[in-house]
Amino acid sequence: MVSDILTPEQLKKANPVFGQLSFDDHEQILFCNDKDTGLKAIIGIHNSVLGPALGGTRMWQYANEWEALNDVLRLSRGMTYKSAITGLNLGGGKAVIIGDAKTQKNPALMRRFGEFVNGLSGKYITAEDVGMETSDMDIVREVTPYVTGISESLGGAGNPSPITAYGVFMGMKAAAKYKFGSDDLENRSVLVQGIGHVGESLVEHLTNDGAKVIIADINEARLEAVSAKYGASIYRGNDLYSEAVDIYAPCALGATINDDTINKIQAKVIAGAANNQIANESVHGKILQQKGIVYAPDFLINAGGIINCYAEIEKFGKAEIMRKTENIYNTTLEILNNADKNSMTTLDAALTIAKNRIEERKNKNS
């Protein structure tokens, strides 16, 4: 028991959940534990004013449970603003499963996780995130209807990653237009960090546009394969952030813009798929603004995936998915211009629009 480990005074100060730095008025947090399958998961519902909280499930080997909780709190909050700014009638939620997706994921564990999702009766709808495949969502679908990102053969919209990549590409082009005066990426150097599901698809768009693509990943086999397929050069240095590139595209995990990296970054534009790229929004967002580095807010430009998931709920097809995703270009440009006009960080400019939409709906509902 925690009370056996901590003194009453320490316990009072600990506030392990509601007192967390990343706790931001989340509505509900569900801790899921199943001895038989070894499932340990946390589902976070940040806000459901605009609709059911939709967000993917991440399976990751967290250093500890604290890190997992922190991640689900940050990710679910990001989903709220992502759906709000994209104009979707969805709230923000996310789930994390603690464990190694390569060795600990199996159908029984995924089914048990699905049962926990089902228990929330539609308040939370899941999908894939890091460590998950469309086939995992198909298994979850066996026990709950509250899942998206399922196979097209089962009536779903399929893997959202290519759509996410297309949205990131649109957002990147808008940021290039704003910074360089042209959205043509031909001969622009772009460093893509993380060439997984989204990163590889982004590399394809960039290559087709004539960009000079540099790739980085911790997975050597993927580096070789993606480099061979698209002719991208592999980053072999040990100080990626100091690389003098036009555009840095974080497509691995979050918080890569942090105290250690912020003053090294040489890129003129940051536009990528990873969620929660900025470790400390108020501090690091401001520094980027001061340095004149254009930051395309992650939750805005990586919304293609959620648009794809939303299509399964609202039953619209590929053409509408692409139209909505392409619109990320216009929204990004509008937000970058707004930020400039109002001397705000681009993150604050995007958050203001998203929060206003939620507030308006709340007032209408009350």
Residue of minimal Cβ distance to ligand NAD:
196
Q: Comparing C-alpha atoms, which of 49, 48, 92 is closest to residue 72?
A: 92
* From 30, 157, 174, 251, residue interacting with ligand NAD (rule: CB under 6 A): 251
For residue 244, count CB atoms less than 10 angstroms from its CB and return exposed for 0-12, middle for 13-18, buried for 19 or more: exposed
For residue 1, count CB atoms less than 10 angstroms from its CB and return exposed for 0-12, middle for 13-18, buried for 19 or more: exposed
Active-site residue (options: 40, 94, 123, 324): 94
The residues, ordered by sequence, that sit 6+ positions from 34 with a Cβ below 8 Å of its Cβ are 109, 112
Active site residue 102: no
Residue 90 to residue 35: CA distance in whole angstroms: 32
Residue 9 CB, nearest approach to ligand NAD (Å): 38
Amino acid at 358: I
Residue 317 CB, nearest approach to ligand NAD (Å): 18
CA angle 252, 255, 259 (to 5 degrees): 135
Residue 305 CB, nearest approach to ligand NAD (Å): 3
Residue 198 CB, nearest approach to ligand NAD (Å): 4
Q: Which is nearer to ligand NAD, 109 or 273 (CB)?
A: 273
The region of 12-20, 102-110, 218-226, 336-344 touching ligand NAD under the rule CB under 6 A is 218-226
Q: Which is nearer to ligand NAD, 308 or 345 (CB)?
A: 308
> Does residue number 38 form part of the binding site for ligand NAD (CB under 6 A)?
no
Site map (CB under 6 A) of ligand NAD, residues 130-159, x = contact: x-----------------------------
For residue 119, count CB atoms less than 10 angstroms from its CB and return exposed for 0-12, middle for 13-18, buried for 19 or more: middle
Q: Comparing C-alpha atoms, which of 251, 136, 267, 126 is closest to residue 190?
A: 267
Q: Which is nearer to ligand NAD, 80 or 193 (CB)?
A: 193
Q: Which is nearer to ligand NAD, 192 or 344 (CB)?
A: 192
* From 44, 55, 156, 199, residue interacting with ligand NAD (rule: CB under 6 A): 199
Radius of gyration of the chain (CA): 20
Residue 350 to residue 297: CA distance in whole angstroms: 7
> Does residue number 194 form part of the binding site for ligand NAD (CB under 6 A)?
yes
**Contact by Cβ (8 Å): 17, 333:** no
> Does residue number 216 form part of the binding site for ligand NAD (CB under 6 A)?
yes
> Does residue number 193 form part of the binding site for ligand NAD (CB under 6 A)?
yes
Q: Which is nearer to ligand NAD, 48 or 193 (CB)?
A: 193
Residue 290 to residue 285: CA distance in whole angstroms: 9
> Does residue number 279 form part of the binding site for ligand NAD (CB under 6 A)?
no
Catalytic residues: 94
| Residues lying near ligand NAD in the complex (CB under 6 A) | 129-130, 160-161, 164, 193-199, 216-219, 222, 251-254, 273-275, 302, 305
